[in-house]
């Protein structure tokens, strides 16, 4: 198995419809021990996640569920310390947490801008910083951050300027981590999905707009969470041992550049 015995922290994993959950399921199937982190990680939600993974992969996963406000650095450091106390180490971090608002530039209120940047960019920074302290001490580790095609094309299919800016920051942050920590054997890469059928689309996209976007995708379908999870598995495993600082497009050909 590609991740046999590896301890993988997945942030943003509370929704069974989400990229984080799909990644958790695939990683568990690939032999990983999981630490699932989310602001909404309550006991009932965690129980449902574990049952779903077990049902779909045919075995009980080794998994912990931890609640965390990623906009708070101290809370991130606490969760990472708990993960290490539970499993002894951390080998991989996957940052899937994010929020989106479909707003035009002139309609973005300061509070909305701050919230999007706090979760999408500051949150990613906080978790990366907390985990990098562990990785640097042992001189190895892998980070996979989720950005968006919005970071590449200037504006998203769904999100506004604040969302695009936050995800552009995630791309730059990831490249900086790869450059700074590469000499210590630590890899960092970023995935840029396009439209993926998750709860993030709810209320942000009409059916007509959805169909219009799909018609313009060369593969003629939206992305599935499992599509992104497969790219996460590649980047987390030794299959990508010489890949760092890379931006991986998973967009069905909707943004070929």
Catalytic residues, which ones? 163
Residue 30: Cβ-neighbour burial (10 angstroms; 0-12, 13-18, 19+)? middle
Please provide the DSSP assignment of 177-232 as one string.
HHHHHGGGTEEEEEEEE-SB-SGGGTTTS-HHHHHHHHHTSTTSS-B-HHHHHHHH
Q: How far apart are CA 38 and CA 127, in angstroms?
A: 12
Q: Between vectors from CA 30 to CA 26 and to CA 35, what angle results, nearest 5°?
A: 70
**Helix 123-138 × helix 73-87 angle, to 10°:** 40
């Amino acid at each position: 198995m590609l991740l046999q015995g590896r301890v993988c922290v997945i942030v943003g994993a509370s929704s069974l419809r989400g990229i984080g959950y799909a990644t958790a399921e695939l990683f568990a199937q690939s032999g990983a021990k999981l630490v699932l982190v989310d602001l909404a990680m309550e006991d009932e939600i965690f129980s449902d996640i574990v049952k779903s993974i077990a049902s779909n992969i045919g075995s009980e996963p080794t998994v912990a569920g931890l609640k965390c406000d990623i906009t708070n650095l101290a809370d991130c450091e606490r969760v990472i310390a708990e993960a290490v106390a539970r499993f002894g180490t951390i080998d991989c971090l996957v940052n899937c947490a994010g929020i989106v608002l479909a707003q035009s530039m002139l309609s973005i209120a300061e509070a909305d801008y701050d919230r999007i940047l706090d979760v999408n960019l500051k949150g990613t920074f906080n978790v990366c910083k907390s985990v990098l302290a562990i990785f640097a001490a042992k001189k190895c580790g892998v980070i996979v951050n989720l950005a968006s095609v919005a970071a590449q094309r200037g504006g998203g299919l769904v999100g506004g300027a604040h969302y695009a800016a936050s995800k552009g920051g995630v791309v730059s942050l990831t490249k900086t981590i790869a450059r700074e920590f590469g000499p210590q054997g630590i890899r960092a890469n970023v995935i840029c999905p396009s439209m993926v059928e998750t709860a993030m689309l709810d209320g942000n996209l009409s059916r007509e707009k959805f169909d219009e976007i799909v018609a313009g995708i060369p593969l003629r379908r939206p992305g599935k969470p499992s599509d992104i999870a497969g790219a996460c598995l590649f980047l987390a495993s030794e299959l990508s041992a010489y890949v760092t600082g890379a931006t991986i497009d998973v967009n069905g050909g909707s943004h070929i550049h």
